[in-house]
Amino acid sequence: MKKLGTLILAIGLVLGFSSCKTETEEVTLEKIEITAQPSKTEYFVGEELDTTGLEVTATYSDESSKVVTGWITSGYDKTKAGEQTVTVSYTETEV
């Protein structure tokens, strides 16, 4: 089996801005960060991407933040050897 090498994670913030109107301000999604790397970062050709351990944190315009789920990955090709960049994207419709 050919080893793919190290997996590089990139942030792909999908800014389908969400907001929540309050009496004082509108809160919007500002950015996402990878706050914990996945447990597995090296793969053999043919292996599926395993995101176990990957933690994504969203930060909002009011400076609050929270760990989020529902993010997606793109850019991984299990048929190719060598370094690959995997993009993590997240959007939400309601804060």
pLDDT band at 42 (very low <50, low <70, confident <90, very high): very high
Over residues 7-14, the mean pLDDT reads 51
Tell me: pLDDT of 94 over 60.
no
- The identity of residue 12, as a single letter, is G
Instruction: Judge whether 84 and 22 are in contact, CB under 8 Å.
Output: no
pTM above 0.85, yes or no: no
* DSSP secondary structure code for residue 79 in this structure: T
Instruction: Judge whether 45 and 80 are in contact, CB under 8 Å.
Output: yes
